[in-house]
Amino acid sequence: MDAARREELLARYRAHAARFSVVPGRSDPAVAAADTPATLARVPERWQMPSVRELEVLQLVAEGLGNREIGARLYVSEETVKTHVRHLLAKLDVTTRARAVAVAFRLGLVE
């Protein structure tokens, strides 16, 4: 993944995360400024962009592969895949692989 594509994904990810920091319809000045670059830069710390390798694992999870198959495809151990998946779940703030894939599709992180 080249740097430009990574920055594009990061911007979309931040924009998506920013939507969760405000409640639509409230008379809060933050709602009016929700789409400004300054607001997008203040994404909560719990929202982190997955690493390139984690995105590769996420793409393979989205294709329906299990940990062993992902490990074989990426030439890493099954335990390494489990670690990547665990980090993905934490970074996307979800509890299941299915939900991680759903969030990734909404954010455009996987195809």
> In the predicted model, what is the mean pLDDT of residues 35-58?
66
The pLDDT tens digits for 47-82 are 678 888 999 999 999 999 999 999 999 999 999 999
Instruction: Name all domains of the chain by residue range, CATH numbers in brackets.
Output: 1-48 (no CATH), 50-111 (1.10.10.10)
Mean pLDDT score of the chain: 76
Residue 17 pLDDT level (bands cut at 50, 70, 90): low
Interhelix angle 97-107/78-92, nearest 10 degrees: 60
Reduced to 3 states (helix: H, G, I; strand: E, B; else coil), residue 47 is coil
Segments in 20-96 forming alpha helices (H): 29-32, 37-40, 52-62, 67-74, 78-92
